[in-house]
Copies of this chain bind each other. A is one copy, B any other.
Amino acid sequence: MLRLMKSSLPDRVKGVCSPPAMPMALAKVDQSVEVLKALADPTRLQMIGILKRSAEPVCICDFTAAFDLSQPTISHHMAKLREAGLVDVSKAGIWAYYRLASRLEPKTRALLDVLV
């Protein structure tokens, strides 16, 4: 053990310093990545911010009006948020109202609390 002074570098065998450890479960990682991918877009992150701050469900037409983007693009982004389980939709007549999902995982909820 008295290997001091030889060098400040750790002992190592070819190509590996220490046995690698994979601390996170694969399924957890994929689940987190799905949510992160959904949030890693300026439009969608702002959508989530608006929904989180709104007490009432928001008509998707308001997003179409707010975000200088075409209606299909807005619909596409909201679908991404839907597929990630971040928002719920309710139809009322010809209108679609979106709100933050009521059944969010605690971890996801905490994520949104930090972000927006």
A binding-site residues for B, Cβ under 8 Å:
7-10, 12, 15-18, 20-24, 29-30, 32-33, 36-37, 39-42, 45-46, 49-50, 53, 58-59, 61-66, 92-93, 95, 107, 110-111, 114-116
Contact = CB atoms under 8 A, between A and B. Distances in A.
A31 B9 CA distance: 36
B16 A65 contact: yes
A10 B94 CA distance: 12
Given A9-B95, A40-B37, A22 B66 contact: yes
Count the copies.
Answer: 2
A8 B91 CA distance: 12
Given A32-B45, A111-B111, 12 more contacts: A9-B93, A15-B64, A16-B62, A18-B58, A24-B46, A24-B49, A30-B42, A32-B115, A33-B41, A36-B39, A36-B115, A40-B40
Contacts of A42: 29-30, 33
Contacts of A50: 20-23
B116 A107 contact: no
